[in-house]
């Protein structure tokens, strides 16, 4: 299973390009809802058990945004650098944006 961090540092599930946030847990099963449930009312859902993901509703009302997971990863990295190093915000942003594709860089803060 592959996870990406949300803005609050929690784990979101990345599966087939869609990003899900944890909805609830029952025993070994974790139920996930699409992060686009809020606002866009996407009905995409899946569940996971022992590391195996099963899509329970693949009816997403949007397409996969390939840059979204990368953006989230980089923002999480930027946040952790900011709290664990003495580097200036400019340096942290520059490091976060380096090697990013153009569409990813567009969603990140601009380097100084
Ligand atoms: Zn969705």
Q: Inform me whether the pLDDT recorded for 6 exceeds 80.
A: no
What six digits make up the tokens of 11? 């784990």
Sequence spans of domains, the chain: 2-57, 68-105
| Per-chain residues with Cβ under 5 A from ion ligand 1 | 34, 36, 42, 44, 60
Q: Which of 78, 63, 60, 65 has the alpha carbon at shortest distance from 7?
A: 78
The pLDDT of residue 105 is: 93
pLDDT of residue 7: 72
pLDDT tens string 12-58? 999 999 999 999 999 999 999 999 998 899 999 999 999 999 999 99
Residue 32 Cα to ligand 1 midpoint, Å, equals 11
Q: Note the pLDDT of residue 29.
A: 97
Give the residue among 28, 29, 32 at the shortest CA–CA distance from 16.
Answer: 32
- CATH fold, domain 2-57, is N-terminal domain of TfIIb (2.20.25)
| pLDDT range class, residue 78, cuts 50, 70, 90 | very high
3-state secondary structure of 36: coil
pLDDT, position 66: 83
Q: Please report the pLDDT score of residue 34 as a whole number.
A: 96
Task: Please tell me the distance from the alpha carbon of residue 15 to that of residue 69, in angstroms, as a whole number.
Answer: 10
């Amino acid at each position: 299973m592959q996870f990406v961090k949300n803005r609050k540092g929690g784990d979101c599930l990345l599966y087939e390009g869609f990003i899900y946030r944890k909805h609830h847990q029952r025993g070994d099963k974790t139920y996930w809802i699409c992060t686009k449930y809020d606002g866009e009312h996407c009905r995409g859902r899946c569940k996971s058990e022992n590391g195996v993901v099963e899509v329970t509703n693949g009816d997403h009302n949007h397409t996969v945004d390939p840059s979204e997971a990368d953006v989230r990863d980089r923002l999480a990295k930027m946040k952790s650098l900011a709290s664990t190093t003495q580097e200036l915000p400019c340096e942290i942003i520059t490091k976060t944006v380096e090697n990013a594709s153009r569409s990813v860089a567009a969603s990140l803060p601009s380097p100084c």
